[in-house]
């Protein structure tokens, strides 16, 4: 029986950074451990679609030489990471989850991946994504195995499903994903890890397959909030989220009419988190948005504007030529935009802009908004075996996350303890655009409260 090597970052990014500089571990050693874990676990989990073994080891060796010569690139130096197969990385294939050639739509390596390399990260390879990142489930493409259940093959959601599985199974130090309607947060919640969706424009998306450019964002997934905070600070501007207490914090809580019905186990975990937040000094403020009308507006934007943007990227003739080679779930979404009148597309884009403009006034007096990340837990793959069931899962599982993209808010999901109670459930926290540092400060404090308490 093969002995699985211990995760070299099990105690977090800063502990690894300390040990690396003390000479207790090297970038190569850390990379070798993850490659060994990937070789053992990935055949079942299928988190990675491509493993860059030689390239990763060469990068790790180069970083070790740099550090030994006195060049220190910062806290992320030598950290092995996973990148969603929506991002171009020099020397690696890029497929956006498709069997078709999409390189012309993606282009060469972009600024974000370049910044990842400048920070000294070792890119282990590419993680799976649903085709075109258009939704949370595919039928003809492999679905990674959610590590939350070793017996039943459950979906990890999507579209950043490989990244979430890689983090949950400790197959990387942290992972990169993208989020247009919940594609980082939903799989992170279903796999029991942390997922950050940044505000639109925080990081450039050149070299990333465009699903819906007006709402596409780059995101981070990690085992805990502190690691996400460190990675965000290094890759953004160096400003680390400060530790803060929760006494006096005011968090908006959407009323019953603002969210579709949630599963009983999700409702129980959510109520658990609210009770412990109040006990920690948080004031929970009932809010009445998204209103019922805005909920319908959000659905219309994702039914019309988003697939129209994707269809514009792919091209109508290209789609017609290849539609029988595309996953049926993606085809159904693209077909919805086929006859969309141009005036309706313009109306939807303007509607999205108006909804985003509402947030500033609505957030007055609030530090953030909390709610469940998704109304359900990870479903067995056997229950998502046709277009209707898979499409219904996509729509329902993303129903709580899409608002943050439409309103242009930053958002994060953190696990609600405890794992012994069953499948993972996530708590979503949202703040105004460009308030990532505040969001991460809140998330660190909230995570401490809801991950150390039990019923």
Catalytic residues: 84, 159, 183
Provide the 3-class DSSP secondary structure of residue 419.
helix
73 in the Ramachandran plot: left (φ > 0), alpha (ψ -120 to 50) or beta?
Answer: alpha
The C-alpha atoms of residue 276 and residue 232 are separated, in whole angstroms, by 27
Decide: 379 and 389 in contact? Cβ < 8 Å.
no
Beta-bridge mates of residue 372: 427
The C-alpha atoms of residue 397 and residue 430 are separated, in whole angstroms, by 17
* CA proximity to 128, closest of 169, 86, 167: 86
Q: Which two tokens stand for residue 231?
A: 């990675």
388 in the Ramachandran plot: left (φ > 0), alpha (ψ -120 to 50) or beta?
Answer: alpha
Q: Which two tokens stand for residue 15?
A: 């502990």
Rg (CA), the chain: 21
Buried b (16+ CB within 10 A) or exposed e, 361-385: eebeebbbbbbbbbbbbbbebeebe
* Consecutive H or E run containing 445: helix 436-452
Backbone angles phi, psi at 12, to 5 degrees: 100, 170
The C-alpha atoms of residue 17 and residue 23 are separated, in whole angstroms, by 10
The C-alpha atoms of residue 216 and residue 218 are separated, in whole angstroms, by 7
Helix ranges (H only) for 141-191 are: 161-168, 185-191
* CA proximity to 159, closest of 327, 325, 318, 337: 327
The C-alpha atoms of residue 290 and residue 450 are separated, in whole angstroms, by 25
Decide: 187 and 398 in contact? Cβ < 8 Å.
no
């Amino acid at each position: 029986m093969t002995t699985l090597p211990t995760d070299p970052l099990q105690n977090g990014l800063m502990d690894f950074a300390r040990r690396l500089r003390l000479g207790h571990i090297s970038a190569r050693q850390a990379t070798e451990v993850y490659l060994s874990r990937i070789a053992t676990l990935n055949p079942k989990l299928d988190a990675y679609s491509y493993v860059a073994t030689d390239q990763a080891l060469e990068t790790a060796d180069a970083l070790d030489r740099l550090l030994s010569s006195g060049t220190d690139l910062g806290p992320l130096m030598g950290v092995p990471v996973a990148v969603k197969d929506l991002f171009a990385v020099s020397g690696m294939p890029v497929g956006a989850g498709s069997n078709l050639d999409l390189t012309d739509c993606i282009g060469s390596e972009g600024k974000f991946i370049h910044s990842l390399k400048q920070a000294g990260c070792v890119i282990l390879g590419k993680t799976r994504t649903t085709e075109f990142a258009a939704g949370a489930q595919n039928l003809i493409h492999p679905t990674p195995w959610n590590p939350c259940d070793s017996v039943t093959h459950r979906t990890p959601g999507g579209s950043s499903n490989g990244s979430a599985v890689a983090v949950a199974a400790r197959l990387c130090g942290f992972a990169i994903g993208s989020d247009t309607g919940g594609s980082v947060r939903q799989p992170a919640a279903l796999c029991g890890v942390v997922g950050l969706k940044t505000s639109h424009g925080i990081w450039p998306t050149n070299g990333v397959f465009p699903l819906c450019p007006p709402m596409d964002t780059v995101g981070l997934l990690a085992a805990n909030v502190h690691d996400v905070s460190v990675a965000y600070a290094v890759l953004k501007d160096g400003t680390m989220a400060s530790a803060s207490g929760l006494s006096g914090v005011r968090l908006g809580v959407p009323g019953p009419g603002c969210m579709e019905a949630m599963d009983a186990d999700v409702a129980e975990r959510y109520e658990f988190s609210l009770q412990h937040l109040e006990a920690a000094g948080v004031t929970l403020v009932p809010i009445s948005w998204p209103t019922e009308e805005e909920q319908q507006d959000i659905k219309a934007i994702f039914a019309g504007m988003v697939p129209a943007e994707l269809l514009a990227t792919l091209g109508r003739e290209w789609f017609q030529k290849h539609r029988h080679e595309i996953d049926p779930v993606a085809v159904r979404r693209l077909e919805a935009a086929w006859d969309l009148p141009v005036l309706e597309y313009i109306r939807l884009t303007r509607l999205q802009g108006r909804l985003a403009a509402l947030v500033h006034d609505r957030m007055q007096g609030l530090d953030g908004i909390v709610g469940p990340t998704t109304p359900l837990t990870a479903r067995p793959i056997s229950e998502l075996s046709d277009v209707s069931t898979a499409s219904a899962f996509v729509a329902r599982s993303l129903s709580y996350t899409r608002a943050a993209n439409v309103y242009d808010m930053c958002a994060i999901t953190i696990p609600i303890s405890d794992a012994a109670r069953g499948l993972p459930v996530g708590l979503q926290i949202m703040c105004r655009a460009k308030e990532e540092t505040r969001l991460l400060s809140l998330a660190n404090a909230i995570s401490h409260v809801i991950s150390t308490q039990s019923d």
